[in-house]
């Protein structure tokens, strides 16, 4: 029997199937996810990420990230200490936040894999276009939450599941590295689980505040 990788509920149910993969849905937290046996290898995953052309000089990419950067920055004290989790091969949000006077640390399992970064607490953590790649979202997100100081902020960016009909034609599901699909219900479950406040700052950007 399959178990939800976010809230650990079982059973979970078939949600959709295409020629490449099947997708399951949790009835408790509404996470839609690809079963583990259908995930690609870490090597192939990193190869996919290495194709990304994101860089701090890309004005369009900066505008995209600013949907989280500006509202998050408005909450931060000067010279705050932050972690950009899953920063990819061309870290950009960390540069934008450093330009605003904050001290940034990077982590990415493919490009900046230093587990030592989790040995210190942070005032804020960002994970932009990351949670959809997590094979064990509960474990990874709990690790980030534990690394956050009381009163700290966790900023996430990800596209959300709307409903089954929209999912069938959703391009977002077709990326082979996308395996966990959140909805508003999933994010609210996460906030309740942590006892956190939760704010929607853009259609695909969200900020959790640690009590």
| Cα distance from N-terminal residue to C-terminal residue, the chain | 35
What does the radius of gyration of the chain's CA atoms come to, in whole angstroms? 17
Q: What's the CATH architecture for 13-209? A: 3-Layer(aba) Sandwich (3.40)
Q: Which residue has the tokens 């900020």?
A: 207
| Domain boundary assignment for the chain | 13-209
In terms of DSSP H, where are the helices of the chain?
42-49, 59-73, 93-99, 137-146, 164-168, 184-194
b/e code 97-114 from CB counts within 10 Å (16+ = b): beeeebebbbbbebbbee
Q: Which of 153, 158, 155, 109 is nearest to 130 (CA)?
A: 158
Each residue's pLDDT, cut to its tens digit, for the chain (211 residues) gives 799 999 999 999 999 999 999 999 999 999 999 999 999 999 999 999 988 778 899 999 999 999 999 999 999 999 999 999 999 999 999 999 999 999 999 999 999 999 999 999 999 999 999 999 999 999 999 999 999 999 999 999 999 999 999 999 999 999 999 999 999 999 999 999 999 999 999 999 999 999 9
């Amino acid at each position: 029997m399959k178990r939800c990788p976010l809230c650990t509920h079982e059973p979970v149910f078939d949600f959709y199937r295409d020629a490449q993969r099947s997708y399951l849905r949790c009835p408790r937290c509404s996470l839609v996810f690809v079963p583990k046996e259908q995930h690609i290898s870490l090597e192939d995953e990193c190869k996919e990420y290495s194709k990304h052309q994101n860089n701090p000089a890309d004005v369009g990419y900066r505008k995209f990230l600013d949907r989280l950067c500006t509202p998050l920055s408005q909450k931060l004290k000067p010279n705050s200490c932050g972690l950009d989790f899953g920063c990819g091969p061309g870290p950009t949000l960390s540069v934008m936040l450093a330009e605003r006077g904050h001290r940034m640390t990077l982590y990415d399992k493919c490009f900046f894999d230093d587990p030592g970064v989790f040995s210190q607490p942070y005032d804020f953590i960002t994970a932009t276009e990351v949670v959809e790649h997590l094979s064990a979202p509960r474990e990874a997100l709990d690790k980030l939450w534990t690394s956050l100081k009381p009163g700290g902020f966790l900023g996430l960016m990800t596209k959300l599941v709307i409903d089954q009909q929209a999912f069938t034609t959703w391009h977002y599901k077709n990326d082979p590295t996308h395996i966990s699909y959140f909805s508003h219900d999933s994010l609210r479950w996460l906030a309740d689980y942590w006892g956190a406040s939760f704010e929607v700052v853009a259609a695909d950007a969200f900020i959790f505040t640690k009590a």
